[in-house]
Amino acid sequence: MAGERAVGLVRELHRTIGGSLPPFRTEELRQALEEMRALYEQNQADVSEAKSGRTDLIFLIRFRHCCLLRNQRCILAYLYDRLLRIRALRWEYGSVLPNAIQFHMSAEEVEWFNRYKKSLAAYMKSVGGEEGLDLTQDIKPPKSLYIEVRCLRDYGEFEIDDGTTILLKKNSQHFLPRWKCEQLIRQGVLEHILS
């Protein structure tokens, strides 16, 4: 059946639950686009034949056109949904993505991510007066300025505002300002402990 490859892409993406990003299927995408090109060329040939009298080819042309539209829809939805997932990564993970995730993105998607980052940064700077407002902070309403955190894995040295550095070793606990640690907690390096 025509359009199987494109639908396969959509199916795989739909199966990936939790909004995480599966690897970019360059090969399948290329095959689907190849199929579209072949259908288009066949239709071009048949249209000129139909114009010179063979009206029974109209159904075939229409069928191929339906397949072309179907492929187009599947591919567009695939690419768009991936962008939505990449956008979610900026809000949930931060502006630097780990290599493991970057491997799953195509070059164009990396480019899109960088441009989105810039757009978001420009917007955040324009809001909230002189220094701008970091919208990715304080996703949950804060209850206190300082929070208790435990380190989940070795991270190394960490400098806080008054100049002191703290060594983040696995299982060490610290009492740190909220705005400094939020990023690290979201990345899974620290764990927020409630008293």
Partner 1 sequence: MSEAYFPVGPGLGLEESFLSLDDILMSQEKLPGRAETRLPRLGFALGQGTGAGDAITEGSKLEFPLWLAKGLHDSKRRIISVQLPNIYKEAWRTVLSADASVVDLHKMGPYYYGFGSQLLNFDNPENPEIAQAILQTFISRFRRIMDSSQNAYNEDTSALVARLDELERALFQAGQKELNDFQSWEKGQASQITASNLVQNYGKRKFTEVDG
Site for partner 1, rule CB under 8 A: 1-3, 7, 10-11, 13-14, 17-20, 56-57, 59-60, 62-63, 65-66, 69-70, 73-74, 76-77, 80-81, 84-85, 87-89, 91-93, 98, 100-101, 139-143, 147, 182, 185-188, 192, 194
Among 89, 111, 108, 91, residue whose Cα is nearest residue 100: 89
| Nearer CB in complex with partner 1: 122/139 | 139
CA angle 2, 35, 79 (to 5 degrees): 90
| Nearer CB in complex with partner 1: 7/33 | 7
Is residue 162 within 8 A of residue 172, CB to CB? The reply is: no
Percentages helix, strand, coil for the chain, rounded to the nearest 5?
55, 10, 30
Task: State in angstroms the smallest separation of the CB of 129 from partner 1.
Answer: 25
Secondary structure (3-state) at 53? coil
| Nearer CB in complex with partner 1: 11/115 | 11
| Nearer CB in complex with partner 1: 31/148 | 148
Residue entry with tokens 């907690």: 185
Task: State in angstroms the smallest separation of the CB of 130 from partner 1.
Answer: 27
Query: H helices then E strands: how many in the chain?
Result: 6, 5
Task: State in angstroms the smallest separation of the CB of 102 from partner 1.
Answer: 11
